[in-house]
Amino acid sequence: MKLLRWGPPGQEKPGLLDGSGRVRDLSGVIDDVAGGVLEPEGLARLAAVDPATLPEVPGRPRLGPCVGRVGKFICIGLNYSDHAAESGMTVPPEPIVFMKASSAVCGPDDGIEIPRGSEKTDWEVELGIVIGKPAKYVSQAEALSHVAGYCVVNDVSERAFQTERSGQWTKGKSADTFGPIGPWLVTADDVPDPQNLKLWLEVDGRRFQDGSTRTMVYGVKYLVSYLSQFMSLQPGDIISTGTPPGVGMGLKPPVYLRPGQTVRLGIEGLGEQTQAVRAAE
């Protein structure tokens, strides 16, 4: 299934994408794509619904974040060896973990706002894991049973805020609009192998990132199990799993986003995002 949320910001309704690419309204079945709906029983209930019985949403509605009421937005740094190399950093012996503020979450096509004082706003296409079943101290063998599905994430980053000022990475990752997720949540049963997905990103039509989740250092099973040793994972939590090479910081000379540009990115089978870049008001 491809689950989504549609409508104006803050007023999104739940929906799904049917086999013909039409948005269907799920608001008569569930209140949101969030919380208990993402647990195995909730997803099984939705899978039993015939999309043809649901009202079709007319036109081309705005798509909001594909997950509502995101609890934790957990990110993994330097999880592709070739990206670590372009960043001038070594692959860590354990995953680098940082948090992105949930206020950064936005729809897949809502646009990127360059923060005030920013000169180094960068892009990162990433595979997002959406937790469906609570996870605490789970093994790698059990890990995938706790995953509701997957989505596209653009881990937008302000590199000066992230690495040139003291403190943690979080402040370079958490500005408003720095967390586009979607266009839809693809349930795990429709993603046979999350470690074999192509992912890419373009700026103004020029392709900068062109990779595969095959080259992740720490895979989905490992990350879910690893994080569950340090914190309980809850339905609707998102894990952003790192980015392949081709980020602006790694280019020689570095290239960063400017107002007026357009970013497009996608992951095989998970959909695409398009973001207009603008300056903060």
Q: Cis peptide before 183, with omega less than 30 degrees from 0?
A: yes
In-domain check, residue 68 = no
pTM exceeds 0.85: yes
In-domain check, residue 126 = yes
Say yes or no to pLDDT of 281 above 90: no
Element housing 25 (H / E): strand 23-25
236 in the same domain as 145: yes
**Domain interval for residue 31:** 2-53
Task: Grade residue 144 by pLDDT with cuts at 50, 70 and 90.
Answer: very high
Q: Tell me if 36 sits within 8 A of 14, measured CB to CB.
A: no
In-domain check, residue 101 = yes
78 in the same domain as 41: no
Percent of the chain's residues with pLDDT above 70 = 100
Task: Grade residue 85 by pLDDT with cuts at 50, 70 and 90.
Answer: confident
44 in the same domain as 77: no
146 in the same domain as 32: no
Q: Which residues contact 245 (CB under 8 A, 6 or more apart)?
A: 80, 82, 83, 85, 86, 209, 211
Tell me which residue has tokens 């357009």.
262
Candidates 157, 169, 172; CA nearest to 257 is 157
108 in the same domain as 39: no
Q: Which residues contact 147 (CB under 8 A, 6 or more apart)?
A: 129, 130, 131, 132, 188, 220, 224
214 in the same domain as 242: yes
274 in the same domain as 225: yes
Total tally of structural domains belonging to the chain: 2
Candidates 164, 166, 152; CA nearest to 199 is 152
Say yes or no to pLDDT of 84 above 80: no
Candidates 236, 268, 212; CA nearest to 66 is 236
| Cα separation values, 219 from 76, 173, 212, 215, 225, Å | 11, 22, 12, 9, 10
Span 202-248, pLDDT tens digits = 999 999 999 999 999 999 999 999 999 999 999 999 999 999 999 99
